[in-house]
């Protein structure tokens, strides 16, 4: 933190979360209301395009601060902010005309795609996780409805705009049996993109040591609770993304950049980033690759993830101590 790892994505500086919480706690109500007014107008002004929802100033409180500040002074004890969880259910249908859009920063296609039955079942799992956690945390999703198909960059920006303490992606893979229970943290050195003589370097690398350290610790917690909830061992596992076509030119027909980290995780680093844990669960039933998870399987997946988030955030202070 504090270093501009990827300046062209993340030019803004932000103080450590714990410090800013302490500051808010110590403020008078007048000052808090003033801060909240900033947060409120920020929330309003960024309520449209997710692309503009990235926080614009280091001192700007997260939009979620607004409702607290509009409460009566008698509610002082509620000034202690709840930790923020963002759940990212994978896939959806890209809006008309956006399927082949290229990300303006990288030149790569970041449109998500409809995957059946994954899209609907992971949305169901995300809603179950939200339901289990929202009594204790502020919980948000990166999607507004099941068939929405925000680009991977929009997902990352939506998540990061909430200033989350943890983000968790939920996916299933119906080409694999349920022994596939992968939990994937961000790691320093993971990368997406290509370098070509014709087009130069179009590669982005994860470099944030602190977020990687926290992400790994959170992933270990989630692997443990997913194992307990399903009875099937979950393990930390790296991802691998291959380019569908790669002739060395990003101006041609590469659908997605090759590499070993999901775009959403890669785009969440630096001062606006967050520890982001990606989950996969094998959904193949016998020879069928299209049978949706059963209600019990969805519940076990959700319970494992929700318990993992709870455990991770319960250990947050000690993990932060180890991840300087």
Supply φ then ψ for residue 8, to 5 degrees. -80, -10
- Minimum CB distance to Zn ion, residue 145 (Å): 18
Nearer to Zn ion, 59 or 242 (CB): 242
Nearer to Zn ion, 138 or 148 (CB): 148
Contact call for residues 239 and 262 (beta carbons, < 8 A): yes
Q: What is the DSSP letter of 91?
A: -
- Minimum CB distance to Zn ion, residue 148 (Å): 15
Nearer to Zn ion, 14 or 171 (CB): 171
Q: How many chain residues are in contact with Zn ion, going by CB under 5 A?
A: 2
Strand order in the sheet with 166-170: 138-141, 84-89, 166-170, 276-281, 181-184, 235-236
Nearer to Zn ion, 180 or 211 (CB): 180
Phi-psi region of 243 (alpha: psi -120 to 50; beta: other; left: phi over 0): beta
Structure tokens at 273: 């980033």
Structure tokens at 155: 């997902």
Q: What is the DSSP letter of 293?
A: P
Gap between the Cα atoms of 143 and 164, Å rounded:
15
CB closest to Zn ion, residue no: 171
- Minimum CB distance to Zn ion, residue 306 (Å): 19
Contact call for residues 279 and 304 (beta carbons, < 8 A): no
Reported in sequence order, the residue ranges of the chain that DSSP labels E, i.e. its strands, are 84-89, 138-141, 166-170, 181-184, 191-196, 200-205, 235-236, 276-281
- Out of 5, 81, 130, 171, name the contact with Zn ion by CB under 5 A: 171
Coil, strand, or helix at residue 85? strand
For Zn ion, the binding residues in 112-131 under the rule CB under 5 A are: none
Candidate segments 49-57, 164-172, 227-235, 260-268, binder of Zn ion by CB under 5 A: 164-172
- Minimum CB distance to Zn ion, residue 216 (Å): 21
According to the binding rule CB under 5 A, does residue 90 interact with Zn ion? yes
Contacts of 102 by beta carbon, 8 Å cutoff, 6+ apart: 108, 109, 110
- Minimum CB distance to Zn ion, residue 118 (Å): 5
Nearer to Zn ion, 163 or 171 (CB): 171
- Minimum CB distance to Zn ion, residue 263 (Å): 12
Nearer to Zn ion, 41 or 235 (CB): 235
Nearer to Zn ion, 115 or 205 (CB): 115
The pairing of strands 200-205 and 191-196 is antiparallel
- Minimum CB distance to Zn ion, residue 186 (Å): 17
Candidate segments 75-83, 167-175, 232-240, 270-278, binder of Zn ion by CB under 5 A: 167-175
Residues that bind Zn ion (CB under 5 A): 90, 171
């Amino acid at each position: 933190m504090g270093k501009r790892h990827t300046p062209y994505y993340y030019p803004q500086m932000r103080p450590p979360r714990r410090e800013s919480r302490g500051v808010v706690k110590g403020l008078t109500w007048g000052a808090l209301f003033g801060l909240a007014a900033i947060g409120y107008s920020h929330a309003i002004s960024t309520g449209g395009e997710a692309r503009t929802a990235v926080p614009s100033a280091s001192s700007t409180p997260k939009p979620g601060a607004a409702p607290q500040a509009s409460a009566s002074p008698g509610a002082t004890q509620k000034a202690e902010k709840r930790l923020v969880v963002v759940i990212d259910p994978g896939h959806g249908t890209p809006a008309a005309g956006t399927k082949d859009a290229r990300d303006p920063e990288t030149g790569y296609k970041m449109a998500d795609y409809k995957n059946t039955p994954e899209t609907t079942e992971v949305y169901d799992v995300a809603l179950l996780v939200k339901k289990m956690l929202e009594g204790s945390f502020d919980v948000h999703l990166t999607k507004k409805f099941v068939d929405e198909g925000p680009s991977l960059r929009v997902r990352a920006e939506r998540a990061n705009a909430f200033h989350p303490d943890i983000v968790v992606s939920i996916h299933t893979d119906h080409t694999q049996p349920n022994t596939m229970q992968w939990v994937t943290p961000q790691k320093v050195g993971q990368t997406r993109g290509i370098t070509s003589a014709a087009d130069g370097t179009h590669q982005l690398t994860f470099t944030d040591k602190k977020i990687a350290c926290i992400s790994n610790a959170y992933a270990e917690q989630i692997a443990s609770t997913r194992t307990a909830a399903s009875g099937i061992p979950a393990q930390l596992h790296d991802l691998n993304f291959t380019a569908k076509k790669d002739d060395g030119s990003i101006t041609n027909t590469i659908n997605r950049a090759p590499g070993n980290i999901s775009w959403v995780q890669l785009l969440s680093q630096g001062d606006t980033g967050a520890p982001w844990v990606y989950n996969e669960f094998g959904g193949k039933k016998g020879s069928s690759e299209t049978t949706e998870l059963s209600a019990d399987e969805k519940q076990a997946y959700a319970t494992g993830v929700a318990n993992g988030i709870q455990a991770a955030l319960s250990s947050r202070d000690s993990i932060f101590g180890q991840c300087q």
